Amino acid sequence: MSETTAAVAETSVAALGSKVTLGGSATSAAAFFMGINWVGWLSLGIAILGLIINAYFSWQRNQREKEIHELTKRKLNNECRTEVMNETNR
């Protein structure tokens, strides 16, 4: 899978996780107020699952951005080779 495809997939899952969290928490609150306890507990579990998914993909994005930041710093300080070697340069 290409890097762009992976980034798009992660962004989509993170957005879905946010919507699941919001929907689950709203359903949970409505169910508790209506006295339907099992729906409330189920939707609360879904909201927590959405929160965990969102936190995981946010953590992954943060790690990726840290790595890009470190590589950019090294490149600006001329600490890494940025030239591309092909078969004729060897």
Which DSSP letter does residue 77 get?
T
- As averages over each run of 10 residues, the pLDDT of the chain (90 residues) reads 68 73 76 75 82 89 92 83 58
> Identity (one letter) of the amino acid at 9?
A
pLDDT of residue 23: 78
pLDDT of residue 16: 73
pLDDT of residue 59: 92
pLDDT of residue 39: 73
Per-residue HEC secondary structure of 12-53 comes to HHHHHHHHHHHHHHHHHHHHHHHCCHHHHHHHHHHHHHHHHH
pLDDT of residue 53: 87
